[in-house]
A and B are shown apart, each in its own frame.
Chain A
């Protein structure tokens, strides 16, 4: 069965510095990977997705993600963090038959001024 793992519960970064939020996946076949963000007391919002094609995917709010097949990773990145990026980030993968989206446990990003 498809699954994703987010090894870090929390990532701390100073404003203006680059940030990385890690995600690794397990799948038999082609992976269909997503990143979602959750701001306090809100539902999840879609950031970006990898279906096929370029390994560097660009998304909302200046975020991008790098798909690495050999390392089975799909890390979320941003060149320069903002305090307003502080939120909970979830990696996700479509399950068998594309009926269920399976989420990781989430990584809390804290950007300090």
Chain B
């Protein structure tokens, strides 16, 4: 009963390095999301996916790339890390959106990234 699993949980990078955060869900959810959480700013959507092979930009996509090659996985990449990307990153997933608007997001435990 894993739900949404994020790896790694912690990572320290130097400016300019690259890395990938992995999100895996075992609930057969169609939609997946990457958010970042910063003090005083709440959660801001980076990118999201409404199905395998599709991705879309959220509020703060610059400096990040994503891929959804398999339905259960959603990868978030930083090609050249910057100190401004120091944050806690959360992955979430949900069933397909619909006009009832009733879909609930299931979140992972978060990945804390520090860029020096």
B43 pairs with A51, CB closer than 8 A: no
Number of residues from A at the complex interface, CB < 8 A:
26
B104 pairs with A34, CB closer than 8 A: yes
B90 pairs with A94, CB closer than 8 A: no
Residues of B within 8 A of A100 (CB): 33, 45, 48, 58
Q: 10 pairs across A/B with beta carbons < 8 Å?
A: A30-B101, A45-B107, A94-B103, A98-B98, A98-B99, A98-B101, A98-B103, A99-B56, A103-B43, A105-B42
Closest to B50 in A: A99
Give chain B nearest CB distance to A17 CB in angstroms.
26
Residues of A within 8 A of B4 (CB): 43
Taking Cβ atoms with an 8 Å cutoff, the residues of A that contact B are: 6, 9, 30, 32, 34, 36, 41-46, 49, 51, 90, 94, 97-106
The CA-CA distance from A49 to B44 in the complex, in Å, is 20
Residues of A within 8 A of B58 (CB): 100
Residues of B within 8 A of A102 (CB): 45
Q: Which of B33, B42, B102, B103 has the most CB of A within 10 A?
A: B42
Contact A94-B42, Cβ < 8 Å, known A43-B109, A43-B110? no
Give residues of chain B (60-106) contacting chain A, Cβ–Cβ below 8 Å.
Answer: 90, 92, 94, 97-106
A104 pairs with B42, CB closer than 8 A: yes
Give chain B nearest CB distance to A32 CB in angstroms.
3
The CA-CA distance from A56 to B65 in the complex, in Å, is 41
Given contacts A42-B110, A100-B48, 10 further A-B contacts (CB under 8 A): A32-B101, A34-B104, A41-B109, A43-B4, A43-B108, A98-B98, A98-B103, A100-B33, A104-B42, A106-B43
Give residues of chain B (9-42) contacting chain A, Cβ–Cβ below 8 Å.
Answer: 31, 33, 35, 40-42
Closest to A101 in B: B105
Residues of B within 8 A of A30 (CB): 101
Closest to B97 in A: A98
Contact A99-B102, Cβ < 8 Å, known A44-B90, A45-B107, A104-B42? no
